[in-house]
Amino acid sequence: MKASHLAIVCSALAFAAPAAAQTSFEGKTIRFVIASTPSGPTDMMGRVFGPHIAKHIPGKPAIVYENRPGAVGVIAANYIANVAKPDGLTVGVLLGMVTSGLMRIEGVQYEPATLRMVGAISATQVLLARNDLGLKTAADLLKPAKPLVLASLGTGSTTDAANRLFLDMIGANYRYVTGYPGQAETILALSRDEANLANASHSTYLTRRESIRAEGLYDAFLQRGELTADGAFRRNPQLPEYPTMVEAITQLKPDALKSADFAAYRSVVGSMAVHYSFVLPPKTPNETVEVLRKAMADALNDPDTRKSVVDMIKSDYDFVPGGDGERIVKALEKDYNADPRIGVRLKEIMAVK
């Protein structure tokens, strides 16, 4: 199995889990509270990995799923932080909870660093572009065949913030169309020619790549990239042919790498290291946390799990152990608090008061 590049972030702080052999979930039911509507990428993460994780939990408990969508994941995160009992029987399957929590966007009632992370799946994003824009290189975004129109989920979306920060940094002119309820709808907007730029998770893109190319209307153009231990951005190994947005910025507007926009971009993309987070309430006992961490690690590092999941979703995954994930969140929190430009710029571009 490939090693997670994100685990390297915390390799110097590797920990030994305390013995927790006595904890058993026999005869119990664990509820996965999913921060999205059914069939979305976050829902897929919970339902695809849930059965595999359950097999490795002592006592082999039943798993049930509950969708709590809304406010770009904030409703589910608030529930885990403030309502769910810290007994290990409620696991939040959250998305993008770090940036929303650090920014304290409207409705947020949780601190990201206090949630106990069981594990996470990292993610990157691709920028989809309609073929009739005539884009061959990133420089063509400055002189497209048609005016750029970016489909968006709207206020509070860190995904949209990263796209807009990128386009602003390179000096592209574009129109920003909001109001789409989910990623599926923004992608559909490309097919309908309502927009000519949209975002997709790399897993969604890889799952649909054959049908996208058969349709022939749009395709991936750039990728967000992934932040590594040395602070650089790399191409996702599953998408080696697509340049990162940082490569494009470096080529077109290198001075922007010192800007507030780039500091904000770096924070948002860094949070993608734990984009799909499996978390427990803040006061969950350490012993319980470690049992579930081990179960998730054993499950996602199991070659049979990987083969089954890849066959199902047509995409590999990059697993981040829970302890590493918590340290990543704390590092992002530290950076966010140390550079006030990040919060100011994100709140401005995300229209958050």
DSSP strand E in 3-147: where?
29-34, 62-67, 90-95, 116-121, 125-130
DSSP codes of every residue in 214-253 = HHTSEEEEEE--EE-TTS-EE--TT-TTSPBHHHHHHHH-
Cα–Cα dist 318/4, whole Å: 6
- Lowest mean pLDDT across 36-40, 170-174, 209-213: 36-40
Q: 331: buried, middle or exposed (CB in 10 Å: 19+, 13-18, 0-12)?
A: middle
Residues forming a β-bridge with 62: 29
Q: What confidence score (pLDDT) does residue 3 get?
A: 45
pLDDT (mean) for 273-293: 96
pLDDT (mean) for 123-127: 91
- Lowest mean pLDDT across 12-26, 66-80, 192-206: 12-26
Cα–Cα dist 151/111, whole Å: 30
Q: What confidence score (pLDDT) does residue 6 get?
A: 44
Q: What confidence score (pLDDT) does residue 13 get?
A: 42
Mean pLDDT (the chain) is 89
Contact 7, 324 (CB under 8 A): yes
Cα–Cα dist 65/302, whole Å: 23
Q: What confidence score (pLDDT) does residue 178 get?
A: 87
305: pLDDT confidence band, cut at 50, 70 and 90? very high
Q: What confidence score (pLDDT) does residue 182 get?
A: 79
Domains and CATH numbers, the chain: 7-122+275-349 (3.40.190.150), 125-268 (3.40.190.10)
More confident residue, 214 or 37: 214
- Give the CA radius of gyration of the chain: 20
Distances (CA, A) of 73 to 52, 229, 296: 24, 27, 22
Q: What pTM was estimated for this model as a whole?
A: 0.77
- Lowest mean pLDDT across 80-89, 228-237, 254-263: 228-237
pLDDT (mean) for 35-61: 92
pLDDT (mean) for 334-351: 90
pLDDT (mean) for 5-22: 44
More confident residue, 7 or 137: 137
pLDDT (mean) for 213-236: 88
Q: What confidence score (pLDDT) does residue 230 get?
A: 67
Cα–Cα dist 38/67, whole Å: 7
pLDDT exceeds cutoff 60 at 4: no
In this structure, what token pair is assigned to residue 232? 């650089």
Q: 258: buried, middle or exposed (CB in 10 Å: 19+, 13-18, 0-12)?
A: exposed
Burial 287-319 (b: 16+ CB within 10 A, else e): ebbbbbbbbbbebbeeeebbeebeeebebbbbb
Please state the separation of Cα 149 from the chain's center in Å: 23
pLDDT exceeds cutoff 90 at 215: yes
Closest of 73, 77, 83 to residue 36, by C-alpha: 73
The alpha-helical segments, DSSP class H, found in the chain are 41-56, 74-82, 97-103, 158-170, 183-191, 202-215, 245-252, 260-271, 286-300, 303-313, 322-338, 340-349
Q: Could you report how far apart the first and last alpha carbons of the chain are, in Å?
A: 44
β 62-67/29-34 pair status: parallel
pLDDT exceeds cutoff 50 at 66: yes
pLDDT (mean) for 261-279: 92
Cα–Cα dist 62/166, whole Å: 44
pLDDT (mean) for 1-20: 43
pLDDT exceeds cutoff 50 at 12: no
Q: What confidence score (pLDDT) does residue 1 get?
A: 42
pLDDT (mean) for 312-316: 80
Other Cβ atoms closer than 10 A to 282? 16
**pLDDT tens digit string along 143-173?**
999 999 999 887 667 778 899 999 999 999 9
Cα–Cα dist 32/124, whole Å: 23
pLDDT (mean) for 117-137: 95
Place of tokens 């997670």: 4
Closest of 266, 268, 278 to residue 323, by C-alpha: 278
Cα–Cα dist 218/197, whole Å: 9
**pLDDT tens digit string along 40-52?**
778 989 999 999 9
Q: What confidence score (pLDDT) does residue 158 get?
A: 75
Q: What confidence score (pLDDT) does residue 7 get?
A: 43
Other Cβ atoms closer than 10 A to 98? 28
Q: DSSP label at 280?
A: E
Hey, is 41 helix, strand or coil? Answer: helix
More confident residue, 226 or 159: 226
Proportion of the chain above pLDDT 70, given as a percent: 92
